[in-house]
Amino acid sequence: MRAAHKYLLLYILTTSCVVVNTFDPVTTTVVVGFGATLGRTIWNYLHESCEPRWIAFNATGLEADLNRKLFGQHIASRIILKAVNGFMSNENPKKPLVLSLHGWTGTGKNFVSQLIAENIYREGMDSSFVHVFTSELHFPHSSQIETYKIQLQQWIKGNVTNCARSMFIFDEMDKMHPGLIDSIKPYLDYYDKLDGVSYRKAIFIFLSNAGGESIIQTALDFWTSGRIREEIELRDLETVLSLSVFNNKKSGLWHTSLIDKNLVDFFVPFLPLEYRHVIQCVLSEMEARRIPPDKNVADQVARDLIYFPKSERIFAVKGCKTIESKLDYYT
Nearer to ligand NAG by Cβ, of 170 and 254: the residue is 170
User: What CA–CA distance (Å, rounded) separates 277 from 83?
Assistant: 24
**Sole binder of ligand NAG in the list 47, 74, 131, 175 (CB under 6 A):** 131
Nearer to ligand NAG by Cβ, of 58 and 257: the residue is 58
Q: Using the rule CB under 6 A, give the single segment among 59-67, 218-226, 293-301, 304-312 that binds ligand NAG.
A: 59-67
**Sole binder of ligand NAG in the list 21, 22, 60, 225 (CB under 6 A):** 60
162 lies in the binding site for ligand NAG (CB under 6 A): yes
29 lies in the binding site for ligand NAG (CB under 6 A): no
159 lies in the binding site for ligand NAG (CB under 6 A): yes
89 lies in the binding site for ligand NAG (CB under 6 A): no
Smallest separation, CB 65 to ligand NAG (Å): 7
User: What CA–CA distance (Å, rounded) separates 324 from 306?
Assistant: 16
Closest-approach residue to ligand NAG (CB): 158
DSSP string computed for 227-250: --GGG--HHHHHHHHHHHHHH-HH
DSSP string computed for 115-136: HHHHTTBTTGGG-TTEEEEEHH
Which of 223, 207, 222 minimizes the C-alpha distance to 99?
A: 207
User: What CA–CA distance (Å, rounded) separates 167 from 112?
Assistant: 13
**Sole binder of ligand NAG in the list 64, 288, 291, 306 (CB under 6 A):** 64
Nearer to ligand NAG by Cβ, of 58 and 331: the residue is 58
**Sole binder of ligand NAG in the list 40, 41, 61, 227 (CB under 6 A):** 61
21 lies in the binding site for ligand NAG (CB under 6 A): no
**Contacts with 171 (C-beta within 8 Å, 6 or more apart), sequence order:** 110, 132, 133, 134, 135, 207
User: What CA–CA distance (Å, rounded) separates 214 from 103?
Assistant: 9
- Give me the phi and psi of 124, to 5 degrees please: 55, -135
Which amino acid is present at 213? Answer: E
Nearer to ligand NAG by Cβ, of 17 and 56: the residue is 56
* Residues contributing to the site for ligand NAG (CB under 6 A): 58, 60-61, 64, 131, 154-155, 158-159, 162
